[in-house]
Chain A
Amino acid sequence: MTESDERGTTALILLGCPQVPVQTSVALYCAHGLRRNGIRPIVAGTTAARKLVEIADPERHYVDTFEDLDAVIGELAEKKRDADYCFVFAHNDSGIAYAGTISYLSQARLYVLLFGEHPEEVAAAITFPCEQITAKAVHNPMPLKRKIDEVLQWVVSKQ
């Protein structure tokens, strides 16, 4: 059962470790772009990654709901939920491990956002089907923002 059956089109935004600054602002920007096009953004991540976004969006202007990363993985594995789209933030090997898990467990169209200092090196571990969005971005979110704009245009055109 997909959440879209009950609550319209949904997108999971899976946050990685928040040590790279651009993640939080680009996640909010991505949520904003999805929501303004009628897609319900759900943010999942570790407590710290989630709180960085949640504190910046206290009245939920951008994000619909926040959820624990491991709980979401568990529900996907147990086929209790799914989404229409999934955006996974990955700047390290763990991010790719989570993206590969989503690729296996979910029917969502999967976008892996590769960023940080060496995104191409991180991307080399991807051996599963997904759309890769790659931008060298650590402190300046603009390179990743521009790529997100292109993807969101494509997502909206398919709505």
Chain B
Amino acid sequence: MGCLEAMKPEVLLSRCSFAEAREYIKKHVREYYEVEPGYKIHDVHLIGVPPLYVGIDGEDVVFPYTKPCHGTFVVKVAGGDAIGRLRSRRK
């Protein structure tokens, strides 16, 4: 996962489809926001077919991370500045 690995992500869902990742975030994360493909979380540009959702869980952010050979993962990492940027968007 490259630079994402440096953030020590907690993997909530592994090797799923991007649609399954979207549904997981909607179902399991109370506070989530729709973002566009290419939206940047820390150093990661999100990949997927709209709508893409990014969740906030306490001090963490939850988002889909797609790898060409291994499918999509739903990961949770420390949110930092990303939380404020997300909350400034409409839900």
A-to-B contact residues, CB < 8 Å: 15-17, 19, 45-46, 49, 69-70, 73-74, 76-77, 92-98, 100-101, 104-105, 125-128
Contacts and interface: CB of A to CB of B under 8 A. Distances in A.
A121 to B, nearest CB: 11
A-B CB proximity, top 5 nearest? A77-B38, A100-B49, A17-B69, A101-B37, A104-B37
Nearest to B20: A93
B18 A16 contact: no
A77 B45 contact: yes
The interface size bin for chain B is: 20 to 34
B72 A97 contact: yes
B19 interface: yes
Secondary structure at the A interface, as helix, strand, loop or mixed, is helix
Contacts of B10: none
B82 interface: no
B38 A70 contact: no
* Candidate in B17, B40, B70 with the most chain A CB atoms within 10 angstroms: B17
